[in-house]
Structure 1
C-alpha cells in the first residue's frame, strides 16, 4: 500500500491483532502511536516496529479513561502535527454465565469496549474536523456481535453496539470527509489464544476455511479500510472469520 505520510493511533496494540495492525501501518510509512494498558508490552512492541524501520511511539495507559484519551490525541498533534487514522482496538472479554454475571464485570466491559471507543472517536473526530482534511476511524467489533456465543452476552452486546455506533456516526462525520467502519474478527491466532489448550485445533475444525485467522489476515483488512482506497466506504462492518458466521458451530 502506498500512502503519503499520515499519523495513526491504535489502542490495545501491545500484541496480537493490534500489534500487527501497527506493524503494517508503520511499514506503509504511517507514523503510529501504539497504546496498550501494559507498559512493558507497549514498549516491546514499539521497539520491534522501530527495529523494522517503522516510525512508532509507545503510549501506554488506560484507553477507556477519558482524560488519557484526550492526551493521546494531543500527543499525536504535538509530536507529528496531525491525526489522520484512529483504530479503537482496545477491548476486554469477561466470560460469565448470564444468571450470575456481576454488575462490576458488566460495567467494566461496557467502559472499555463502548465508552473507550466512543470517546476516542469523539476526540479524534474533533481533531480531524479542525484539520479539514478528512480522516479514517475504525472500530474492532467481533463475530460475537453477529452470532450468539455462550457466556458472552455482555461482550457480544458491546460489540454489536460498536457496529451501530459506526453506522450512526456516518451522519455526523461524513460532512467532514471522515470515514468510520468496523472489522469483526473471528477466531484468531494470537499470543493469548495460543495459550489456550486445543484452540488452534478446535477452530480449525469449526472454521469452513479450515483454520483460524492469522493476525495478518485481520490487519490487512484494517489497513484497507483506513486507506485512501476505501475513502468511499463508511458505516460498514467487515466480518473476517473464514466463514464461521455462516455455519456458527460452537466450540
Structure 2
C-alpha cells in the first residue's frame, strides 16, 4: 500500500481553498489547513475529518508570516513525516483606481500575495528536496493576470508575478522532481462573491459557458495538477474561467 501523502493548503477556511481540501481529503491525503480566521479553519478541519476520516490539522494565522510558514512545515513533518503537496491559495484583493492607489495597499497586496507564496514555496521546496521523492507546488493566480480589470492593477500585477514564479522555478526545482504550476480562476461563486446579489447573474451573461465557476470547478483542476496524473506538467498556468478571457467583456459595461 502506498504511504499517505500530506498537503498544506493556505486560505482553506472557506471558498476555493476549502473545496480543494475536501477534494484531496476524498483521496485520503492528510491535511494541514491554514486560514487567517481561526474559527473557519478549525470548523473546516473538524468537518473534513468527520466526513473523510483523514488526519486534518488547523493552523490559524497570516499565511505570509514567517512564523506561520515555519509552523505549517514543522507540523506536517512532526505529524505525518513528509510534505508532498503545497497549495498557496491565500491572497487578498484591495480594489482601487490606479491614480489614487495608496502605497500601503500596494505593499499589503504584494506582501500577502507575492511574498507569502514565494516564501511558503521556498520552505516547502527545501523539505521536498531533502525527501528525495519530489513534490507538487500549486499557486493561485487569477484571470486578471491575463486580462485587464478595472481597479485591480496592483492585484493583477501580484497574480501575474505568481505565474512567472512558477515558470521560473522549473529551472531550479525540476532536478529534484518538484513540479510547480498555477491555476487562474475566473469569476467564481464563493461565500464572499455571493454577498453581491448581482454577481452570478452578471458573470453568467458575459461568460461564454453561461455561468460563473463553482468552487468545485476550481478544486477539480487543482487536484489534477498536484496529482500523479499530471506528473509531466510543470511551469504551467491553467485558466479556469468558462472562456471569459477569450472574449473579456467587462462586468461594468
Shorter-chain TM-score above 0.5? yes
Show structure 2 runs of 5+ residues with no match. none
**RMSD after superposition:** 1.1
Secondary structure of residue in 1 paired with 2:197: coil
Deviations 1:126-161 (Å, cap 9, x if unpaired)?
A: 000110000000000000000000000000000000
Deviations 1:175-225 (Å, cap 9, x if unpaired)?
A: 000000000000001000000120010010010000000000000000000
Q: Is the 8 A contact 1:4 1:29 kept in 2?
A: no
- Specify the alignment match of 2:126 in structure 1: 126
- Specify the alignment match of 1:43 in structure 2: 42
Is 1:32 aligned to 2:47, yes or no?
no
Show structure 1 runs of 5+ residues with no match. none
Secondary structure of residue in 2 paired with 1:183: strand
User: 1:67: how far off?
Assistant: 2.1
Is 1:246 aligned to 2:246, yes or no?
yes
- Specify the alignment match of 2:237 in structure 1: 237
Matches within 5 A, 1:221-236: 221-236=221-236
User: 1:4: how far off?
Assistant: 5.0
- Going from structure 1 to structure 2, the CA distance change for 1:204 and 1:4 (only over 3 Å counts) comes to farther
- Going from structure 1 to structure 2, the CA distance change for 1:154 and 1:75 (only over 3 Å counts) comes to same
Q: Is the 8 A contact 2:169 2:180 kept in 1?
A: yes
Rounded Cα–Cα distance in structure 1 between residues aligned with 2:70 and 2:90: 15
Secondary structure of residue in 1 paired with 2:182: strand
Matches within 5 A, 1:192-203: 192-203=192-203
- Specify the alignment match of 1:108 in structure 2: 108
Scaled by the length of structure 2, the TM-score of the pair is 0.97
Is 1:167 aligned to 2:167, yes or no?
yes
Secondary structure of residue in 2 paired with 1:52: helix
